[in-house]
Amino acid sequence: MKILHTSDLQLDAPFAFLGDGGQRHRVQILETFDAILKLAEGESYDLLLISGDLFNTNRPQQSTVERVANRLGKLSIPVCILPGNHDSYDSKSIYRRTIFPPNVTIFTDQLKVMRFPDLDLAVYGNAIARKDGEDKPLEGISASEPVRWHVAMAHGNMVTGLVKNPDRPITDLEIASCGMDYVALGDWHGYGNYSQGKVQAFYSGSPEPMAFDQTESGYVVSVIFGDEQVEVDRIRVGKIHAVQPEVEVSGQSQAEIIDLIGEYASPETMLDVSLRGLNTLGNVLAPLIIEETLAPGTYAIRVRDQTHPELDMISPADFPEEHVIGKFVEILMDQIAEAQDEHERTKIEQALQLGIALLQGKGVI
């Protein structure tokens, strides 16, 4: 038996961070959704699970809802949809207003388990009741049905060392003790393995990146139930690759830096570039100009200047105090030494870099 697991498509999300490219990304995700359905049908999967946030809100465009319902209805296999925090099962839920085809099961506040006798399988799930509610996704879920295979859908956040008190918490203990053969996790946008003991538990992640930093997005999870074990694998379905290169600027001009970044660029790459290292004093980098230069060859690009000026290279002979530029350097170096935190220090360093360039008569944008 084979199950295909996806989540967090967030159809009709605005993607404001992409500017004019937001509409293009909305269309891309719809096309990737179609690719997931084609994969489910073409590779003879027995069941499709969507573990939350199929829609970005409970007010998606009607055309999007109709397209989704139509596509799902054409599948020859059953589909289970769990409302997430974006498309929660509240009083105004899209799932209350829409009639989905007969092969689609929506997990509501009344429906906790759905049996599929032909598959000897039961699927369990707690719908997220409110966007900002206190839901516990695996609360009360245990292998209670008289079937061979037990699968849960859960939309929430793993309680880890980094995230100790998250909304919609899911703990290692809950996974380990639920008695499931597989837990289809949703809410996190990157693929991840959170299995405990014999219980396989995975985030599929979003099929396309929802932000610049989501380098582990772009996958669905394939689950094969065998006589002895459950085999889990990820399959790439996303067209867009999120890449986060760190570019060393030391000794490089802006033109050379553009060439370095260009090596990562492609029409299917969402680039999140960090400029790192020590920058020559007075050499002002212009992230917006770099973005505009490389934008035609990328899907989307963001450039962040996280460099520091080479303060150790400052020589009093280069900036004598009797000159305006020398006095400027002296004042700002004192301020850098007295900075209260890294944020304040970075702002003053940027002011020093920009001020020296201007006082040297350089054209600065």
CA distance 47 to 5: 9
- pLDDT string in tens for the chain (365-residue length): 999 999 999 999 999 999 999 999 999 999 999 999 999 999 999 999 999 999 999 999 999 999 999 999 999 999 999 999 999 999 999 999 999 999 999 999 888 899 999 999 999 999 999 877 788 999 999 999 999 999 999 999 999 877 777 899 999 999 999 999 999 999 999 999 999 999 999 999 999 999 999 999 999 999 999 988 899 999 999 999 999 999 998 888 889 999 999 999 999 999 999 998 878 777 778 899 999 999 999 999 999 988 887 776 677 677 887 889 889 988 998 999 999 998 999 889 888 888 887 887 766 55
Domain boundaries, the chain: 2-236, 244-359
Amino acid, res. 167: D
At the topology level, CATH places domain 2-236 in Purple Acid Phosphatase; chain A, domain 2 (3.60.21)
Across 97-194, where does the E strand assignment appear? 104-106, 113-116, 121-125, 149-155, 157-158, 169-170, 182-186, 192-193
CA distance 119 to 223: 14
pTM confidence score? 0.86
